[in-house]
């Protein structure tokens, strides 16, 4: 989608109408990201979206279109959630380590989207972020590194570890569900 007309109109008028057009075009996807970032804490997700738009409106005139608008907005959102989590719990949950056996290709567990959402909610914020950005939203490591101010290698490494832990949670979840 070409977002320039929406942005140009907003910057030209600074009107409520132009803002709501922009808001409605972009927020449903960003809100879904915010819900996942907050492990489905709806109140916090709404706060993140509100803070994100306030910052975006302040900075939009300086946006240079070196990325898609959605990438830029997602970057603001991600960093707001990151700042909060840094304050609360530190990064990347170093305590999350892989302890189980790996599931080989031919013995993959069957899991649903609900199982996956639940497992992602259990990830540490840092792991969850990289899985959301890469495996759900489809950003490349280069883009993720730019958003999170990391180098690409760190992004790849985080994703590697995040997937391992995620699979562990999926197996645990499955075991729990299949226990008598």
Partner 1 sequence: MKEELSNYEKKIFGRLKREEQPPADLEKRIVEQLKSDHLITSNTYKMNPIIKWVAASAAAVLLFFTGNYMGKQTIEKQGIDPNRGYMLILHEDDQFKPGDPQEMYQEYGAWMQDTMSKGIAMTGHELKNEADIVDARQHVEHLDENSARKTTGYFILEAESLEVALQVARSNPHIKYGGTIEVKQYMVR
The correct pick among 41, 135, 145, 150 for binding partner 1 (CB under 8 A) is 135
142 contributes a contact to partner 1 by CB under 8 A: no
Total residues contacting partner 1 (rule CB under 8 A)? 43
Least separation, in Å, of the C-beta of 180 and partner 1?
A: 26
Q: Is the distance from CB of 130 to CB of 78 less than 8 angstroms?
A: no
The correct pick among 116, 146, 150, 171 for binding partner 1 (CB under 8 A) is 116
Q: Which stretch binds partner 1 (CB under 8 A): 83-91, 122-130, 146-154, 158-166?
A: 158-166
- Using CA atoms, how far residue 40 sits from 87, 120, 121, 141, 158, in Å, is 19, 10, 7, 25, 22
CA dist 21 and 18 (Å) reads 5
CA dist 127 and 135 (Å) reads 11
63 contributes a contact to partner 1 by CB under 8 A: no
Please give the residues from 69 up to 108 whose contact with partner 1 meets the rule CB under 8 A.
102-105, 108
107 sits in which H/E element: none
44 contributes a contact to partner 1 by CB under 8 A: no
Q: Which two tokens stand for residue 161?
A: 């570890």
5 contributes a contact to partner 1 by CB under 8 A: yes
Q: Which stretch binds partner 1 (CB under 8 A): 21-29, 67-75, 79-87, 89-97?
A: 21-29
CA dist 137 and 130 (Å) reads 10
CA dist 133 and 135 (Å) reads 6
Taking the CA atoms of 69, 127, 106 and 117 in sequence, report the sign of the dihedral they define: negative
The residues that touch partner 1, with contacts defined as CB under 8 A, are: 5-6, 13-21, 23-25, 27-29, 31-32, 35, 42, 46, 49-50, 53-54, 57-58, 102-105, 108, 111-113, 116-117, 135-136, 160, 163-164
């Amino acid at each position: 989608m070409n977002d320039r007309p929406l942005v140009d109109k907003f910057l030209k008028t600074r009107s409520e109408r132009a803002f709501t057009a922009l808001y409605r075009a972009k927020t449903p996807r960003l809100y879904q990201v915010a819900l996942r970032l907050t492990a489905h804490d709806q109140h916090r997700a709404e706060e993140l979206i509100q803070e994100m738009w306030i910052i975006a409106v302040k900075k939009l005139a300086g946006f240079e279109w070196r990325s898609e608008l959605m990438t830029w907005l997602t970057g603001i959102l991600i960093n707001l959630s990151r700042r909060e989590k840094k304050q609360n719990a530190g990064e990347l949950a170093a305590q999350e380590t892989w302890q189980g056996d790996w599931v080989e290709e031919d013995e993959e567990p069957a899991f649903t989207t609900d199982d996956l959402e639940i497992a992602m909610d259990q990830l540490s914020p840092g792991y969850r972020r990289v899985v959301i950005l890469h495996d759900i939203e489809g950003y490349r490591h280069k883009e993720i590194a730019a958003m999170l101010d990391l180098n690409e290698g760190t992004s790849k490494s985080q994703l590697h570890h995040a997937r391992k832990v995620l699979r562990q949670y999926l197996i645990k979840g499955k075991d729990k569900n299949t226990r008598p």
